[in-house]
Structure 1
Amino acid sequence: MYAPERHQAILAKARHQGRVEVRSLAEELDVTPETIRRDLTALERRGLLHRAHGGAIPIDRLSVEPDVSYREGMLSDEKERIARMALSEVPQGGSIIIDAGTTTARLAALLPQDIDLTVVTNSIPIAAVLATRPNIQLHLLGGHVRPLTLAMVGSWPEDALRSLSVDVAFLGINGLTPERGLTTPDLEEARIKSAFVDAARRTVVLADHTKFGREDFGHVAPLSRIDTVITDSSIDNEHLLEIEMAGPDVVVA
């Protein structure tokens, strides 16, 4: 069976049963578990499945976009490595923006306590982590809360960002391609992320390997506006080279 045929069979089974398991798929399709994992990764990059522990869930069973509690459990080790690598981009005693997201939340939790920082965020969970830190001057952007991501969105935070100039913006993202740049499903979050890019002298994107090659509805920024992309070691070399050729440095954690 060729890969496209396996992909069709996997997707059909996932949609019928609500989820698929690596082990049972490997036995049913007479291939190795490693082959099935690569198939699931390919389907996830196309936006058709979401990887879960030991298998995957079809995207149409997850509304359109998974919520924070679901995403927190996905690719936990990869997100931790990305966040730790991003610490090298944090300025000593400067100002940063931390976008809403599960990988950016890991970065917030890891921020050093021996340097003074000014932090701007639109994320309720990130604000909760940093609110009691004595070395951090925290600015939580106002607006209305988007329940799926617990991010503040709307005209209020957009207006506030026009008066800011920070050293580095750390962005989370849903999709990343050379042609469309950064994209995300929700238009209001796309506008906030665009405003973050405009407000920062440098922009660093934290994106695990599943975000590469995906395109979503809301456009955030072209890759020419991005300085650095930090990802994990499972990234496909072809995707890595395509992103680097479009402008940003790519750092693999």
Structure 2
Amino acid sequence: MLIAERRRRLLEQVRQRGYASFRELADTLGISESTVRRDLRLMVAEGLLEATRGGVGPMPGDSRPVPDSGAFRPADGVRGSIWAGASPAEDDAVAARYASGPADDPVDAERQAIAAHAATLVKPGSAILLGPGRTTYALARRLMTISSLTVVTNSVLVTQALLGAPQIDVVMVGGTLRRSIGALVGPVTEQTLQGFRGDQVFLSGDGVTVDRGLTTPNVFAAATDQALMAAGRQVVVLADHTKLGHDTMCQTVPTSRIDVLVTDAGADPEVRRLLAAAGVDVQAVSER
């Protein structure tokens, strides 16, 4: 079964049932439960379905018809939007959900504390680069009071956050839009970033280890993050405690290039010690 058809049928089953467990969907479609979980995780992240305990359900008030398989497209690369017929308003809604996280986000308080501390590292009159991510988005929202700042970013969400700050010059680099991370990536982005040099670059990812530094599972995001890293004199990684000690597929910033790691007080003390021993300035902050 093609990916597009499989996801169309998954969405159809959930909307017909109102609720479905992973096992029920796997049995109905004749596929593995792990495949169901992977597909549904992406569909929840993209706002097509709502996560529930032990399964999924339709989004509240969602009356959109299930498109035929032609309206779905498999992710081009590692991840991507599968709602090809989405309106701009729907795209904005997906972006908002990505930026803020779910209402019961267990690390939102830590993320906000990390962002608040990171904002204190930014000096008025400087030029910085911000990569995509929920924590960098939270940081962008805390830069509104800093004067004479230049921000270079590939993140649509960071750009949106700074629209109301006329004292901040925002440079958004071009590229290919990947809705799954709310950012522009690809060769155009990487080539454009080669012409920039900033005082600091702030990056987040999915894992930080002593052996590999900052990593992400998204190959497209990894290449662009590497270009962002190369454009910054000081590299600041923002990562909550759930990411320390966690390793994913693609390395973006080796440990030797991480100047500052801002994390929360719940981060593994041993991982923090080893990173500090490797030359990283580890700054752990408490919730505010």
Aligning the two structures, in what range does the TM-score lie when normalised by the shorter sequence? Answer: 0.7 to 0.9
Contact 2:213 2:258 in 1 (8 A): no
C-alpha contact (below 8 Å) 1:91/1:167 kept by paired residues: no
Q: Which amino acid is the alignment partner of residue 235 of structure 2?
A: T
**1:111 counterpart (133, 138, 143):** 143
The 3-state SS of whatever aligns with 2:151 is: strand
Aligned to 1:161: 193
Structure 2: which 5+ runs fail to align?
Answer: 1-20, 26-36, 47-94
Deviation string 1:189-218 (CA, Å, 9 cap, x unpaired) is 101111111101101111001111111111
Aligned to 1:30: none
Cα gap change, 1:78 to 1:195, in 2 (>3 Å): same
Structure 2 counterpart of 1:84: 116
1:235 corresponds in structure 2 to 267
* Partner in structure 1 of residue 172 of structure 2: 140
Structure 1 residue 110, shift from structure 2 partner: 0.6
Determine the structure 2 residue equivalent to 1:72.
101
CA contact (8 A) 2:144 2:162 kept: no
Are residues 1:62 and 2:62 paired?
A: no
* % same residue: 35
Q: Cα deviation per residue 1:117-142 (whole Å; 9 max; x = unaligned)?
A: 00011111110111231111100111
TM-score normalised to structure 1 length: 0.73
Divergent runs of 4+, >3 A: 14-18, 58-61, 63-68
> What's the CA shift for 1:156?
0.8
Change (3 A) 1:245 1:77: same
Note the alpha carbon deviations across 1:169-208, whole angstroms, 9 max, x for none. Answer: 0101111111111110111110111111110110111100
Deviation string, structure 1 residues 1-38 (Cα, Å, up to 9, x no partner): xxxxxxxxxxxxx97699xxxxxxxxxxxxxxxxxxxx
SS of 1:189's equivalent in the other structure is: helix
1:126 aligns with 2:158: yes
Superposition pairs of residues 1-253 of structure 1, within 5 angstroms: 62-63=41-42, 69=97, 72-73=101-102, 74=105, 75-253=107-285
Whole-Å separation in 1 of the counterparts to 2:146 and 2:246: 38
Taking a change above 3 Å as real, the CA distance of residues 177 and 114 of structure 1, as seen in their structure-2 partners, is closer
Q: Which has the larger radius of gyration?
A: 2
Counterpart amino acid of residue 155 in structure 1:
P
* Matched residue count: 201
CA distance, structure 2, for counterparts of residue 225 and residue 128 of structure 1: 29
Gaps of 5+ in 1: 1-13, 19-57
TM normalised by structure 2 equals 0.65
**Equivalent residues of 2:200, 2:236 under 8 A apart:** yes
Instruction: Give the superposed CA RMSD.
Output: 2.4
Structure 1 residue 247, shift from structure 2 partner: 2.0
Opposite residue 85 of structure 1, the aligned amino acid is H
CA pair 212-120 structure 1, distance change in 2 beyond 3 A: same
Deviations along 1:57-89, one digit per CA (max 9) or x if unpaired, are x77852499566357233111111000110121
Q: Rate the CA distance shift 1:217–1:112 in 2: closer, same or farther, 3 A.
A: same
Give distance in 2, aligned partners of 1:234 and 1:59.
28
Q: Greater share of helix residues, 1 or 2?
A: 1
1:103 and 1:156, CA in 2 relative to 1: closer, same or farther beyond 3 A? same
